[in-house]
Structures are given as C-alpha cells and as structure tokens.
Amino acid sequence: MGAFESFSAFLAMGDHGVYVWSAYAVGAAVIAFNVVAPRLHRQRLISDHKRRMRREQR
C-alpha cells in the first residue's frame, strides 16, 4: 500500500500518527466549515425572505 507496509502502519504514520491525523482532521473541519457556512447562510436568506413575504401579505 503506497509508502506503507500495512494499513496499521498507515494509521500509525511511524508514531507521528496523532499529529498527522489531527492536522488532517482540522483541515477537514475547516473545509467542512467553508462548504456548510454558505449553505446555512442561504437557508437563512430564504427563511428571512419568506417571513418578509408573509408580513407583507397580511
């Protein structure tokens, strides 16, 4: 498997596993934030718009 002998060696990263995987986890979290935040913003815009429409109809 690539540069590693086995899957467990891949996970262990030559006893640097904690560092490598935590760094990649933070990376994944930041990417997830950047993907999800605009989506939430979009939903907020839509619900604000709906509320405004309802108020105007009344």
Partner 1 sequence: MWQAFVRWFHKWSSPKWFYTMSQPWSFWLGWAATLIIATALVWGLLFAPVERLQGNSYRIIFIHVPSAFLSQAIYAAIAVLGLVGLVWKMKLAFFVAKQCIPVGASMALLALVTGAIWGKPTWGTWWEWDARLTSMLVLLLLYLGLWALHNAMERPESGDRAAAILALVGVVNLPIIKFSVEWWNTLHQPATLKFTEAPPMHTSMLIPFLMAILGFYLASMAWVLMRTRLEILQRERKSRWVEDELNRFSEGQ
Q: Give residues in contact with partner 1 (CB under 8 A).
A: 1-4, 10, 13-17, 19-20, 22-24, 26-27, 30-31, 33-35, 37-38, 41-42, 45-46, 49-50, 53
Per-residue tokens: 38: 């605009």
Q: How far is the CB of 12 from partner 1 (least distance, A)?
A: 9
Q: Find the shortest distance in angstroms from Cβ 54 to partner 1.
A: 10
The residue whose two tokens read 């993907």 is: 35
22-32: buried (b, 16+ CB within 10 Å) or exposed (e) per residue?
A: eeeeeeeeeee
The least distance separating partner 1 from the CB of residue 21, rounded to whole angstroms, comes to 9
Residue that is written with structure tokens 């030559």 in the block: 14
